[in-house]
Amino acid sequence: MNSFGAFLKRKHGGRIQRVSIDAGFTCPNVDGAVAKGGCNFCDNRSFSPSRRVRLQKVADQLRQGIETVRRRYSKVSGFIAYFQPATNTYAPVEQLEEIFELAVSIHPEIVGLAIGTRPDCVPDSVLTLIERLAKTSDVSVEYGMQSIHDESLKWMNRAHNHAHMINAIDRSRNRHFETCAHVILGIPGETHAMMMETAEEIGRLGFDAIKLHNLYAVRGTPLGTEVLEGKVEMMEYDTYLQTLVDFLERIPPHVIVERISGDAPPDFLIAPLWCLKKSELRLAIEKEFERRGTVQGSRWTPPSIDPTFRPIPTDQTPDAIRVQIDQRGRLPVLKLQDQ
C-alpha cells in the first residue's frame, strides 16, 4: 500500500504532521444555499451561518497545534495546515486568499496546506487561487466524493451528485495541487460491486490520493439516531477488511492512501466500535495482502483515456454557491478579528 506517512517521508525527508484548523467556515449543505440539515453523518450543529472566518483564531490554532505536536513527537520535520471541518472553500475568494496565505506563512516549518471541501464548491476562481498557492507550497484539495452512486449521495443528504465530482476533478487536474478523494464504504444499499465501481473511478478520474472511511455513526446526527433505533447497521469488521483490500487492489499503485478507516472520539462514537482500533486494522490489511499475494493496484486496469488528457469542462458550480464565493464581497468581521 502506498501509505501517506511513507510518501511524506520520501518527499520531505522526515516526519510531517497535520495540524487541524477550524477556521469558522460553514457549509452550503447546512446554510440553505443547496440544502439544510447537512449530511446525515455530519455533526454540523456548530456550523451556523453566522460563523465567520477569523484570522487571529487561525493563527492561534496553528501555533498551539504545532506546540502540541512537538510535545508528542520529538522528531517532526514539518507541518501541514489542515483546514478540516465544514466546507473550507466556501467564502469570498479574497478572504480565502488571505486565510490560506496566512496559514502557509505563519511558521517556517509549515510545508503546505490541506483543504477539505465539497465537489460543488470549487468555482474556477477558487481553483485559480489554489493553483497559485501550489506554486510555492504543497497543497492538497480533499473532495468529499463519498460514492459514485447518486442514490447513495441522496441517502446521505449530500445535496450534490457524482456529476459535480467529475466536473470538479476535471477542472482541478494539471493545476499542480494534489487531489484527494474522500470515500465511504458500507453505505446501506451499496453492494460489493457498487463499491468496486467507486474504486475503479479513482483511477479513471486520475485522483492523486484517497481517504477511505467506513461509515460510522456519532451522537447528535440523523445517522446516529437511526443506528440507535436499529434502523441502520454498520459494516462488520471482517466485511470491511475484505472490502477495503478488494478496493485497494483496484486503485492505481501510485495513488497515495491517506486513510484506511474513519473514527470519532469514543465519547461521541456510537458504532462501529471496532474502528477505534486503527493500528490493529492496519496490521490486518498488511496480513490480508500477504495472504492473497497481492498489493495495491494488483487488479487495477488502466483507463482507456489517460486522465491527464481528459477535456476541461465548463464550471458547473451551482449558482447559489457561486454567488457566495464570487459576489458576496469581503466580510467586515475579518478585519475586526485581525486587529
Residues 6+ apart with CB under 8 A from 91: 25, 53, 99, 324, 325, 331
Coil, helix or strand at residue 274:
helix
Q: Nearer Cβ to ligand SF4, position 86 or 113? A: 86
- Smallest distance, Å, CB 185 to ligand SF4? 16
Q: Which of 123, 144, 203, 252 binds ligand SF4 (CB under 6 A)?
A: 144
Q: Is 38 in the site for ligand SF4 (CB under 6 A)?
A: yes
Q: Is 27 in the site for ligand SF4 (CB under 6 A)?
A: yes
- Smallest distance, Å, CB 246 to ligand SF4? 25
Q: Is 29 in the site for ligand SF4 (CB under 6 A)?
A: yes
Q: Nearer Cβ to ligand SF4, position 42 or 271? A: 42
Number of C-beta neighbours around residue 6 at 10 A: 12
Tell me if 103 sits within 8 A of 40, measured CB to CB: no
Tell me if 325 sits within 8 A of 125, measured CB to CB: yes
Coil, helix or strand at residue 174:
coil
x/- contact string, 262-301, with ligand SF4 (CB under 6 A)? Answer: ----------------------------------------
Q: Is 42 in the site for ligand SF4 (CB under 6 A)?
A: yes
Q: Which of 21, 39, 58, 122 binds ligand SF4 (CB under 6 A)?
A: 39
Q: Which of 30, 58, 130, 235 binds ligand SF4 (CB under 6 A)?
A: 30
Q: For 250-322, where are the alpha helices, taking DSSP H only?
A: 278-292, 319-322
CA–CA separation, 139 and 166 (whole Å): 20
Q: Is 17 in the site for ligand SF4 (CB under 6 A)?
A: no
For residue 50, give the nearest of 26, 84, 22 by alpha carbon. 26
Q: Is 118 in the site for ligand SF4 (CB under 6 A)?
A: yes
- The DSSP bridge partners found for residue 210 are 181, 257
Q: Is 86 in the site for ligand SF4 (CB under 6 A)?
A: yes
Tell me, what DSSP letter sits at residue 253? T
Tell me, what DSSP letter sits at residue 119? T
- Smallest distance, Å, CB 44 to ligand SF4? 5
CA–CA separation, 135 and 93 (whole Å): 18
x/- contact string, 150-179, with ligand SF4 (CB under 6 A)? Answer: ------------------------------
Q: Which of 2, 17, 44, 137 binds ligand SF4 (CB under 6 A)?
A: 44
Tell me, what DSSP letter sits at residue 333? H
CA–CA separation, 257 and 274 (whole Å): 20
Q: Nearer Cβ to ligand SF4, position 53 or 66? A: 53
Q: Which three cell numbers stand for residue 24?
A: 469558522
Computed from CA positions of residues 166, 82, 263, 27, in that sequence, does the dihedral angle turn out positive or negative? Answer: negative
Coil, helix or strand at residue 18:
strand
Return the range that interacts with ligand SF4 (CB under 6 A); candidates 36-44, 65-73, 107-115, 133-141: 36-44
Return the range that interacts with ligand SF4 (CB under 6 A); candidates 27-35, 192-200, 221-229, 248-256: 27-35
Write out the residues near ligand SF4 by the rule CB under 6 A: 27, 29-30, 38-39, 42, 44, 86-87, 118, 144
